[in-house]
Amino acid sequence: MSIKEKIKNLFKLETYINLNVLKEKVIEDMWPHFCTMENVDMYVGKGEACNWCGEKEKEFLLSERDRLTKESARQETEQLIIMEMELIDEENAPEHSGGRG
């Protein structure tokens, strides 16, 4: 690889790192939002409502908490069902004598 290519690659890497730092800084000052009016994921400024649908960050946080609670409950229920089915399978498994007949 030539020195010119190495410098070009380093510049790309530095640009990538700088863009990620900038993105993290921007995201700190914003909250994620799926706008139902625009049908798009976006970020809205902290303390501001969405310009299109009017949803506020507090409403988003409450709905996200509810979604995560429901998801957690669903996963726990699925896990309990799997454990119950495994117990039933163990109870109904044929006995092995360990030797040849």
Q: What is the pLDDT of residue 69?
A: 87
DSSP annotation of 34 reads E
Token pair of 33 as six digits: 């939002």
Q: Is the pLDDT of residue 25 over 70?
A: no
Coil/strand/helix, residue 45 = strand
> What is the rounded (10 degree) CA torsion for 40, 46, 51, 57?
70
Mean pLDDT over residues 3-32, rounded?
Answer: 67
Q: How many CA atoms lie within 13 A of 99 on its CB side?
A: 1
pLDDT digits (tens, 9 = 90+) for 40-95: 999 998 889 999 999 888 887 777 788 888 888 888 888 888 888 888 888 887 77
Q: What is the pLDDT of residue 53?
A: 93
Which residue would you say has higher pLDDT here, 100 or 12? 12
